[in-house]
């Protein structure tokens, strides 16, 4: 009786295929995420990362010397229609523009701010006063982004 030969993959061949698939996925993953998120989601995530970077920088770089009365701490300035700027003294360190929203109003502690360019100072712990931003998308989609003192954002739809 002649034995039948069975064909199969060796363990080495399987490991090589898995390694190649892993490399292809790691190269493709950043491009795939662009298709998974809407422009509004990218704005939301971008602002979260912007505030987080500012908070980390505020912790890493201590406040300016206390003996200088004109010195200003690290802060975020919000300008119309939809720009967030990270400032140290009067120097712009970073800027983030919302691409799909425009700012309709800003509130702090439930009260509308009268300033056209409000600023929120970071302290040495990387926190700042909580505030809310009223946003309008191109399709008149109204939202409120509530930003707590740690930079976490909660989104609510405005009716």
Per-residue pLDDT of the chain in tens (159 residues, 90 and over written 9): 566 777 788 999 999 999 999 999 888 877 776 677 777 888 888 888 898 888 888 888 765 555 565 566 788 999 888 899 998 877 888 999 988 888 888 998 888 988 888 998 888 788 888 999 888 887 777 888 888 888 888 888 876
Q: Collect all residues with Cβ–Cβ distance below 8 Å to 70 and sequence separation of at least 6.
A: none
The tally of domains found in the chain comes to 1
The domain in which residue 117 lies consists of 13-157
CATH of the domain at 46: 3.55.40.10
8 within a domain of the structure (yes/no):
no
Q: Is the pTM of this model over 0.85?
A: no
Residue 142 domain flag: yes
d(CA 141, CA 122): 30
In a domain, 2, yes or no: no
pLDDT for 64 equals 55
* pLDDT (0 to 100) of residue 66: 54
Assigned domain for 132 exists: yes
**Does residue 5 sit within a domain?**
no
**Cβ-Cβ contacts under 8 Å for 24 (sequence gap 6 or more):** none
The answer to whether position 37 is within a domain reads yes
In Å, what is the CA distance from 26 to each residue of 17, 32, 37, 110? 14, 10, 18, 44
């Amino acid at each position: 009786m002649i034995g039948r030969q069975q064909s199969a993959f060796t363990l080495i061949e399987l490991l090589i295929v898995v390694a190649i698939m892993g490399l292809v996925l790691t190269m493709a993953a950043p491009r795939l995420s662009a298709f998974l998120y809407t422009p509004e989601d990218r704005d939301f995530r971008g602002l979260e990362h912007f505030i987080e970077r500012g908070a980390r920088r505020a912790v890493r770089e201590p406040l300016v010397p206390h003996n200088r009365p004109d010195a200003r701490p690290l802060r975020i300035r919000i300008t119309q229609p939809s720009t967030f700027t990270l400032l140290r003294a009067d120097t712009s360190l970073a800027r983030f523009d919302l691409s799909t929203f425009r700012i309709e109003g800003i509130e702090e502690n439930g009260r509308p701010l009268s300033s056209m360019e409000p600023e929120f100072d970071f302290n040495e712990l990387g926190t700042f006063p909580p505030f809310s931003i009223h946003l309008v998308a191109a399709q008149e989609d109204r939202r409120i982004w509530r930003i707590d003192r740690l930079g976490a954002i909660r989104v609510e739809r405005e009716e």
